Structure 1
């Protein structure tokens, strides 16, 4: 027998008495006060939907209060960083510290960075 004929056999054996028994069982469960199951499922569904929305709002509030926008004091490029942290300028590479919502150089502005170039290597390359 194939599955199609077994379904026809099941529908053939289905009587109105079975349907009445199903309705009676549903009615008795309703009388027993099982509405807490439905209420619980609705609460779980509500928590699943509302929790990410609340988490997103809290995260946006935290970002608004902890992000600092400003300009690099050395090269004047726009920067974004977290409050009370140390970061680097993406344009010039200067080490910066954020204090009171402003970017400040960790080293003083008067400090000069010097790169050492070996002149001996340059003389050999120019003579070749």
Structure 2
């Protein structure tokens, strides 16, 4: 088994039948790439890496702040109007109280009973 050596003049071909200039082309190409990088400068690569690292560090912080904002705008913590049990629910949804089972909905940042149409909801006050 013959091993091919990268960048040699004979390019690993038997009896010298390979391209004699393959090795020269390799080294000239390599030299040209290093010259081009030197002429352009590597500052843009370093700056790009710093920007990428900065974005990777800022992304979790921005996600945490965004999640907190979403939670405060979409989630409500209040008391049940029937049993005064405090719990959390999503704004604009209908649900049952986990303590008494009363059907409730969110309205004006508080929980409100869901009553069928035509039902009059009253508060009874006991007078002695």
Task: Tell me which residue corresponds to 2:69.
Answer: 61
2:78 match: secondary structure: strand
SS at match of 1:76: coil
Match of 1:124 in 2: none
Instruction: Give the corresponding residue for 2:43.
Output: 35
The runs of 5 or more residues in structure 2 that have no matched partner are 1-33, 123-128
Deviation of residue 61 (structure 1)?
1.5
TM-score, normalised with respect to structure 1 = 0.57
- TM-aligned CA deviation for residue 53 of structure 1: 0.5
Question: How many positions carry a matched residue from both structures?
Answer: 86
Which runs of structure 2 are paired with 1:10-89 in the superposition (5 Å)?
Answer: 29-89=37-97
Runs of 4+ aligned structure 1 residues displaced above 4 Å come to: 26-31
User: What CA RMSD, in Å, does the superposition of the two structures yield over aligned residues?
Assistant: 2.5
Check 1:42–1:27 CA distance in 2 against 1; reply closer, same or farther (3 A cut): farther
- State the TM-score, normalizing by the size of structure 2: 0.57
Of residues 66, 77, 101, the one that matches 1:93 is: 101
Instruction: Show structure 1 runs of 5+ residues with no match.
Output: 1-25, 111-128
